Structure 1
Amino acid sequence: MGVLLLASAAGQAAEFKTVGTAPALLYDAPSTKGNKLFIVPRGAPLEVVLTYGDWVKVRDVTGDLAWTPSRGLSARRNVIVRTPNLKIRASEDETSTVVFIADRGVLLELGEPGANGWIKVRHRDGLAGYVRGTDIWGN
C-alpha cells in the first residue's frame, strides 16, 4: 500500500504559489511562536509541500523547507531563472531570435506552456519570450 501512495504522490504536479505584496516570513513550525528562519522577497515563487490549517510548508529555490501563513501567498505565478545569462527567445526554438537575456536569480512571470518543454515568460518591463522549462524554477 505504501508503494501505491508513493507512486500517486510522484505522479502529481508540484503546486507553486508566489509571495504576495509583502515579503514572507518563514518559520521552522506552523506558528508565529516558531523560530524565524528566512525572509522571502515579494514575487518569489515557493513550492507548496503541505497545507496545515492556515499554514503551508514550502520549499524555496535552494531546496530549504519552512512554514509560512498561507494568506501571504498569491496564486499569481512567477519563476526564477536558474541559468546564468539565459537567452529568452522569440519562439520555441534554440535558433530563434534572442528577445532579451536574464541573469540567474531574475524573477519572470510564468506564461503558458509551449511545445517540447518550452514555456512562455514575461519580464516586468513587458518583454516576453520562451525558455526551456529546465532553465527556470517554479514551473
Structure 2
Amino acid sequence: MIDIRKSLRSNFHEEEINMAPLIDMVFLLLIFFMVTTSFVKETGIDVHRPTAATATLKNKGNILLGVSEAGGIFFEKKPIDIRSVRAHIERSLAENPEGAVVIVADRKSDTGVVVKVMDQCRLAGAVRVSIAAAKPTLDR
C-alpha cells in the first residue's frame, strides 16, 4: 500500500529567494546613474549677479571663476591669486577643450579685477569668455 504521508513529505521543497540577481541589478543601476550624472563645479562664493535683459542660459561644460565684492578670485571653491588664473584655466581647458569660461562676478566687484581675470583667461587660450548675469525680475 502507498503511504501518502511519506510521498507528500518527500516532494515538499522549501522555496528560496535568490538575492544575487537583485543585487547585480542594483549595482548596475548605481553604476549607470554615476556615469550619467553631470557634476557641477561651483565658484565657492555667493555673489549678487548683475541683471541683464539679454542674459541667456548656457548648458555646455563651463569653467567657472568667481570674483567677490572685495575683489577676491575663486576657482573650485578655493581662493586663488590673479597670477594663477592663467595656469588654472589652461589646466581646465586641457581637460575640457570645448569648455567656455564664465566669470561669476558680484555686481559690486571692481571692474578692473574682472577685466584682469578676463585677460588672464584669454591669455590661457580660452576663446569663449563671458560674464554671468541674472535675468531681471518683473516686479509689478
TM range (shorter): under 0.3
Output the TM-score relative to the length of structure 1.
Answer: 0.26
Could you say which structure has the larger radius of gyration?
2
Output the TM-score relative to the length of structure 2.
Answer: 0.25
Q: Which has the higher contact order (CA 8 A, sep 6+)?
A: 2
